[in-house]
Amino acid sequence: MSGIEIAFGSIVLMLVLIYAGMHVAVALTLLSFVGVWLLRDNFNVASNMLVLAFKDTISEYLFGVVPLFVLMGLLVSVAGIGRDTFEVAAHVFRKVLGGLGIATVAANAVFAAITGISIASAAVFTKVAVPEMIRHGYRPRFAVGVVAGSSVLGMLIPPSLLFILYGVLTEQSVGELFIAGIIPGIILSLVYCIGIMLMGRLAPSFIGDARSAANDLPEMGFGEMVSKISPIILLVALVLGGIYGGIFTPTEAGAAGALGALVISLAKRRLSLASFWQVLVQTGHTTSSICFLIMGASLYSRMLAMSGMPGWLGSYVVESGFGVTGIVIALLIVIMLLGTVLDSASIMLLTLPVALPILLGTDVNLIWLGVLTILAVEIGLLTPPFGIAVFVIKATLGTESTITLGEIFTGALPFAAMMLMVLAAVFIFPALATALL
């Protein structure tokens, strides 16, 4: 078999193994090892490459940011900052059409600025916002749909673990990627809010009692609002201010943010020894899962490079006359299709090693492409049959909830459509992602 045949055979076999239920990281590692063995016809070469790929990948300083941001996000969740933020937002928007839905979006956008994890946002606001919206007359499918849709802001508004992963895979500045996500993140939040108000006027049966019951919400003084929202403002200023001000590297900002979240949790007296241990264990689980995926992707990228497939594919695409526009559109379509069956990190780890060598020859702006990639990947979080954000919401609701998986997908559909609109806007107007750079 030629190198090209081995490479394409590995892609087909990978899809088969993943659909059969094998973990993506295991499939990447296994096929990379076998691929190098076949290419070099030497077991020792394949073994040595496996060891070197793992060692070189994990030893990079930048990867220290992963556990730090995960730890910060989980500490913020334990401290109840998400609940405090929602209560303030609900008070501010209590007299607006669809006010509690808009409050959920606003609170999630603020919460995203310190967590960077969509799953954490989905879990927190399922517990906080969904019961409140249902209690005030909103339809359950709309309540869970708002949470599902707004939870994806966690991966677009910096800091974002997906931007960190993209930066590592494409060797781009994580700080610049964070900056590039600010305007699209704000636009997506505003589009969600406008969409909720339009649904309240044009399709009131979809969301239920769109007019937030202002009289039912407890009064909140200015001082109480400040005390509830100040911790998250301080964390945002510490983390993002440190990065954009040139005081911290992203890794150092993650350490400062984790320390700040720990201090706030202790100050609020919401962190016990038991909950702190759970936070540490969950941080370890999440970090090891992400790092294992990255190591598998690194090994797979080396195997593909050794096979000569990226160069051959790049020449084929360039000679076919697709152009930059056609290549990027094709990549985004593939990402969104994979989003129906795979999680966000796995999609990036599967597509970028194949697409990047092609795109490097087209002078495409990789920072702009990063924002497009994150938007396309996050659409997959809301689409069946996988839709990881939807499954997280269902699991958080518990077995006693009468809300079905189908209702959550139905509620999230309008928000997936709005995200697609923002994706198209960033694609047509690249300055939306690059204006602040």
- What confidence score (pLDDT) does residue 216 get? 61
In order along its 437 residues, the chain shows pLDDT tens digits of: 778 888 888 878 877 887 777 777 788 888 888 888 888 888 888 888 778 777 766 666 656 767 887 787 778 778 777 778 888 887 888 777 788 888 889 888 877 766 666 766 777 788 778 887 887 788 888 989 998 888 888 788 877 878 888 988 888 888 889 889 999 999 999 999 999 989 888 888 788 765 545 556 666 777 888 888 888 788 878 877 887 777 887 778 778 888 988 998 888 888 888 889 988 888 888 777 767 777 777 777 778 778 877 667 666 666 666 777 888 888 888 888 777 666 677 778 778 877 887 787 677 899 999 999 999 988 877 877 666 778 778 877 877 788 888 888 888 899 999 999 999 999 999 999 999 88
| CA–CA distance, 122 with 119 (Å, rounded to integer) | 5
| CA–CA distance, 75 with 55 (Å, rounded to integer) | 30
17 and 27 Cβ atoms separated by less than 8 Å: yes
Distinct helix (H) and strand (E) counts, the chain: 22, 0
| CA–CA distance, 180 with 433 (Å, rounded to integer) | 5
120 and 147 Cβ atoms separated by less than 8 Å: no
Which two structure tokens, joined as six digits, stand for 437? 């750079």
| CA–CA distance, 113 with 147 (Å, rounded to integer) | 16
How remote is the C-alpha of 135 from its chain's centroid? 29
- What confidence score (pLDDT) does residue 180 get? 92
| CA–CA distance, 20 with 317 (Å, rounded to integer) | 30
User: Is pTM beyond 0.85 here?
Assistant: no
- What confidence score (pLDDT) does residue 380 get? 77
- What confidence score (pLDDT) does residue 62 get? 59
Q: Which residue has the tokens 């989905």?
A: 122
Which two structure tokens, joined as six digits, stand for 220? 């909140």
